[in-house]
Amino acid sequence: MSLKLIDYGNVMLVYNNHVGYLWESFNHRINTFLNGMTFHENLTLTSWKNENDQGSGSFIFQ
């Protein structure tokens, strides 16, 4: 196995024969979304009004 950093920011644990992979960072998001990432579940992120008011703000990411 080897660990590869792909040009678009994905980190992948790939098999030595380069056929398939065991793990990739794009499937385990924490707090960053990059172009090319996909959601595997129904996910909606909504901004807060401000740092003191956690009510829904102006931005929604689906």
Mean pLDDT by 10 residues, the chain (62 residues): 88 88 82 71 85 92 80
pTM: 0.50
> In whole angstroms, what is the distance from residue 8 CA to residue 25 CA?
12
pLDDT confidence of residue 10: 86
Tokens representing 38 are: 């996909």
Residue of 22, 26, 21, 28 lying closest to 9 (CA atoms) = 26
Report the alpha-carbon distance of residue 8 to residue 35 in Å, rounded. 8
Tokens 């920011």 appear where? Answer: 9
Residue 39 near residue 46 (C-beta atoms within 8 A): no
Instruction: Look at the block and give the residue holding tokens 């979304």.
Output: 33
